[in-house]
Structure 1
Amino acid sequence: MPVPGPRGHRLTIQHRLSTSWRRIAGLIALVVVPVGLLIAVPRLMASPDPQPAARHVWVIVMENRADTSIIGRKNAPYLNSLIAQYGLATNYHALVHGSQPNYVALFSGGLQGVKGNEIVSLSARNLADQLDAAGLTWRVYAQNVPPNCFAGATATGGPDGSGTYARKHEPAISFADIAHNPARCSRITDFSAFDPTAANFELIVPNLQNDMHNGTTAQGDTFLRQFVPRILASSAWQSGSPLFITWDEGKQTGDNKVATLVIAKSVTPGYRSGVAHTHYSLLHTVEQLLGVPCLGQACKANTLSEFFNAGAVPSPSGG
């Protein structure tokens, strides 16, 4: 079911983050977009020849927590400190239950027929294809994944610490044009190689202990407390590039709503949005930020543009 497009007097993500880059570069001129034109556009779509608005985008995907298990919880103090400092989507839903379909959709704009966590080989176009075609770079950092294009279901331990890697949480290796191309699948590495400025897009997948799948909420929160500052201290994030933290799915029962954090210097502290979003919205947002066309169902989804709006203010009702 399509989700609603942007509302009201909004600036696009590209305009908002491009403004940040112009300020950093010391330019004085401002680009003014007529409000009437924005009202006439029902949904943000990537333009035929989009101008990239961010030089880097990071996405961290955690596991199996409804939003109510995170927001305001004492066992997630670091996450809640980020929520207070940056932005939170309060009406964001995973697509289905089961991990792998959500990861595949987030990486390709569709479920691609995947219903469970079995090993699959997919031929659909994906985000890596888009980025390569545009001359942009990408990396997938999957904790505990073995080197040399490992294609197994799980692996334990490694140079980046103890824990277990699960292929079902790492979507890139499930696409044949990546898995069977050594130059491309070599971009899937463990955390020992992590560099927040290595690529334009970086997908970050903690191991089963740190992503809250097998570990506790507190353990996942502690992991993020140790890991996220590496991104926030980078020149790329300091220059205005955004980090997103989301969960693959919520509880097995209920509405499958998950917390999604938008962490960027341009986001108004404490801003909460009640606009309906899904993983397709996040993919569409990443695509628009990096200036590449949309994929599949992401083309029908809105973006998280409200978080990058000039003049956005915190919702007194919490979204």
Structure 2
Amino acid sequence: MNHLKSFIVAISLSALLAGCSEAPASVSTVQSTPANSAETDVELAAVKTARFPNIPVKHIVVVIEENHAYKQIVNSSNAPFMNKLIKQGALFTNAYAITHPSQPNYMALFSGSSQGVKDDSCKKPFQSDNLGHQLLKSNLTFAGYSEDLPRVGFTGCTYKGYGRKHNPWVQFTNIPAKLNQPFTAFPQQFDKLPTVSFVIPNHQDDMHDGTVKQADDWLKGNLSAYADWAMKHQSLLILTWDEDDFSKKNQIPVIMVGSMIKPGKYNERINHYNVLRTIEDLYGLSRSGASRNSAPITSVWK
């Protein structure tokens, strides 16, 4: 108990000092998995109180790309738009996926658990808690938009460039079918967006089968207007990858752009669970799965 009190005091004092001076471009924060998970929410509450944005985040759009490592994207001449986003926002230089292959990473980002999934085969739906369900329980809104999804609520395994393995919300019985939307339904009036939405390009446009340049062009053509709008409307774009190019290291780029983000490079070690925990804490949601034991991202906020 004395150790816990000392830790909280130290964290609170550190946060107070950080609030009195301008943070550097590269900031380290609490480790992703604290040693004593029983103390996690107490310890992280001190960080959250001092270091989260002091304005509400009206909308978050999460875009998930495929199967490319940090070094294949950052400073790549084939990804000029993505590197423009890096300059505008926050780049995490020490970010990692959870595992291989794709599907368990999507599940982890959305629900705090791989749900025991170890491959990309089509699964029966799960009943576990998840981000979308928590948003709905809190009277907030959620929707997922997948390119090439043939119709609202489609539960099939594949269609053209769409793969259910890249669509985590369709994997849960507690997400209404009407929230599983084709990308053609993505609102062009961005103030009509749900509180949190996920965007999944098809296999050609997410780098799974197509090139980095093709994915960069698609992102620019379809999300640049939202990225610009977010900078003026208290909203956030999160660009992440499911996993790297199947290496053991599994380092990926994670980019955040929005009006509440301090541009810069951040070296804290994060993974999908940290990103999930951050979204949950921004909206005061209950934590799902391993996000309970993962630090929220607190270094990037103005």
Q: Where on the TM-score scale, by shorter chain, does this alignment land: which range?
A: 0.7 to 0.9
Deviation at 1:42, TM superposition (A): 3.9
Tell me the residue number matched to 2:170: 173
Show the 5 A alignment for 1:12-161. 42-44=43-45, 53-120=56-123, 121-156=125-160
Which one-letter code corresponds to 2:197 in the other structure?
E
1:172 and 1:105, CA in 2 relative to 1: closer, same or farther beyond 3 A? same
Residues 232, 238 of structure 1: 8 Å contact kept: no
**Could you tell me which of 294, 297, 301 is aligned with 1:304?**
297
Tell me the residue number matched to 1:161: none
1:241 and 1:9, CA in 2 relative to 1: closer, same or farther beyond 3 A? farther
Tell me the residue number matched to 2:27: none
**Do residues 242 (structure 1) and 236 (structure 2) align?**
yes
Tell me the residue number matched to 1:225: 220
Q: Please, which runs of 5 or more residues in structure 2 have no aligned partner?
A: 1-10, 17-41
Deviation at 1:189, TM superposition (A): 1.0
Instruction: Please give the alpha-carbon distance, in whole angstroms, between the structure 2 residues aligned to 1:10 and 1:68.
Output: 32
Runs of 4+ in 1 over 6 A off after TM superposition: none
Residues 231, 257 of structure 2: 8 Å contact kept: no
**Do residues 267 (structure 1) and 264 (structure 2) align?**
no
1:76 and 1:176, CA in 2 relative to 1: closer, same or farther beyond 3 A? same
1:239 and 1:168, CA in 2 relative to 1: closer, same or farther beyond 3 A? same
Which one-letter code corresponds to 2:223 in the other structure?
V
SS in 2 for 1:176: coil
SS in 2 for 1:212: coil
Deviation at 1:173, TM superposition (A): 0.7
1:75 and 1:187, CA in 2 relative to 1: closer, same or farther beyond 3 A? same
**Could you tell me which of 188, 199, 205 is aligned with 2:180?**
188
Which one-letter code corresponds to 1:54 in the other structure?
V
Tell me the residue number matched to 2:32: none
Structure 1 range deviating more: 219-228 or 59-68? 219-228
How many residue pairs align between the two structures? 260
Residues 67, 257 of structure 1: 8 Å contact kept: yes
Instruction: Please give the alpha-carbon distance, in whole angstroms, between the structure 2 residues aligned to 1:131 and 1:237.
Output: 23
Residues 98, 117 of structure 1: 8 Å contact kept: yes
Deviation per CA, 1:111-138: give whole Å up to 9, x if none: 1111111112211111111011100011
**Could you tell me which of 273, 284, 287 is aligned with 1:291?**
284
Deviation at 1:225, TM superposition (A): 1.1
SS in 2 for 1:69: helix
Deviation at 1:289, TM superposition (A): 1.5
Residues 152, 182 of structure 2: 8 Å contact kept: no
Instruction: Please give the alpha-carbon distance, in whole angstroms, between the structure 2 residues aligned to 1:307 and 1:173.
Output: 31
1:7 and 1:116, CA in 2 relative to 1: closer, same or farther beyond 3 A? farther
Show the 5 A alignment for 1:3-14. 9-10=14-15
Deviation per CA, 1:186-238: give whole Å up to 9, x if none: 1111121111332101011110010000000110111111122231344x652
**Do residues 255 (structure 1) and 262 (structure 2) align?**
no
Q: Which has the higher helix share?
A: 2
Residues 94, 251 of structure 2: 8 Å contact kept: yes
Deviation per CA, 1:126-165: give whole Å up to 9, x if none: 1111011100011100011021421111112xxxxxxx11
Which one-letter code corresponds to 1:251 in the other structure?
D
1:203 and 1:125, CA in 2 relative to 1: closer, same or farther beyond 3 A? same
Residues 46, 291 of structure 1: 8 Å contact kept: no
Instruction: Please give the alpha-carbon distance, in whole angstroms, between the structure 1 residues aligned to 2:210 and 2:85.
Output: 21
Instruction: Please give the alpha-carbon distance, in whole angstroms, between the structure 2 residues aligned to 1:242 and 1:252.
Output: 28
1:9 and 1:241, CA in 2 relative to 1: closer, same or farther beyond 3 A? farther
Instruction: Please give the alpha-carbon distance, in whole angstroms, between the structure 1 residues aligned to 2:13 and 2:62.
Output: 27
Deviation at 1:53, TM superposition (A): 3.0
SS in 1 for 2:253: strand
Deviation at 1:302, TM superposition (A): 1.1
TM-score normalised by L of structure 2: 0.80
